Amino acid sequence: MDFFQVFIELAQSTVRVSTPLILAALAGLFTERAGVFDIGLEGKMLGAAFAAGTVAFLTQSVAMGLGAAILVSVLLSLVHGYASITQRGSQIVSGVAINFVVAGSTVILGEAWFRQGGRTPALMESGRFGTIKLPFADALREVPILGPLYSNLLSGHSPLTYLAFLMVPASWWILYRTRFGLRLRAVGENPGAVDTAGISVIWLRYRAVICCGILCGIAGAYLSLAANAGFTKGMTAGKGYIALAALIFAKWRPKNILFACLLFGFLDAFAIRYQGYAFPLIGKVPVQLMQALPYILTVILLAGFIGKAIPPKAGGVPYVKER
């Protein structure tokens, strides 16, 4: 197989694997820019994936599955918001609790409802997202270089994949070109000044966690309705934590988030493709080491290779209104 064909196949896998990472990282971007640290991205994605797989199987409707995923994820976000914004509890503890509760409850409910070891039954085509073939993809397939790039790399992905990539410039525009985005960033830097201006800090932060819930819901739906044909136990496999690492690596900027997630996605795709492959001079690399590649990179990058990453000043600090 020639190098160009290998590149196309790796790039295809990278795009598919990066999709939930991009959505989850953008979800974390909205909350952290508002001063709410959310380590519960993993749990919201997992809960959304379970809801999507369950409802899509029962209704045979992909739209209903997506709606259920977003609803469950938003509800979990509101729980996190209530604990950390209204009650001023620890944002870390709240997020970890959501991860643990969802990890256990999805398995228990899946086994109780379907008796398939925590899985949901396989979905028919009507319950899954298909792929979108871009115009002239077949006609241009045989054109050297540009044909495979357009027909095989740019075309043939799930609608949620295109949505994820479109959300990057959309998130930038919302955060940097709208009144809502300006206030959201201000409340993450100096909530006291925002409150003095007569703007509700609590309501702004709640809107941020709702945005986070919507994006995590779409990410979870992608896992069970597009990347797979249903829900499987622990199918997020740490993607929420990797998305959080990508967010820090990107220094809380939408454009950088895209490249960071593509980097993590490439390593994941590379590990999947070359499991058990005998490399020249090295030989066969253990499967476990290949599977650990994305996580090893996460540790290395966060250990000091990203420069100084400065989070929003009010991040992780409950707001107490001055009297």
d(CA 123, CA 42): 23
d(CA 266, CA 276): 17
The predicted pLDDT at position 4 comes to 79
Rounded mean pLDDT, 289-313: 72
pLDDT digits (tens, 9 = 90+) for 125-184: 888 998 998 888 888 888 888 888 888 888 889 999 999 999 999 999 999 999 999 999
Rounded mean pLDDT, 225-248: 91
For 48, phi then psi, to 5°, come to: -65, -40
DSSP 47-92: HHHHHHHHHHHHH--HHHHHHHHHHHHHHHHHHHHIIIIIS---HH
For residue 307, is pLDDT > 70?
no
Whether 179 contacts 303, CB under 8 Å: no
Rounded mean pLDDT, 36-52: 95
| Structure tokens, 2 | 């020639």
Rounded mean pLDDT, 264-283: 78
The predicted pLDDT at position 314 comes to 76
Rounded mean pLDDT, 297-314: 71
| Percent of residues, the chain, with pLDDT higher than 70 | 94
Identity (one letter) of the amino acid at 122?
Answer: A
d(CA 54, CA 170): 30
Q: Where are the domains of the chain?
A: 3-237
Phi-psi domain of 161 (left: phi exceeds 0; alpha: psi -120 through 50; beta: other)? alpha
Rounded mean pLDDT, 205-217: 96
Rounded mean pLDDT, 11-29: 94
The predicted pLDDT at position 151 comes to 86
The predicted pLDDT at position 302 comes to 66
pLDDT class for 243, splitting at 50, 70, 90? very high
For 317, phi then psi, to 5°, come to: -110, 115
Q: Which of 87, 77, 72, 71 is nearest to 31 (CA)?
A: 77
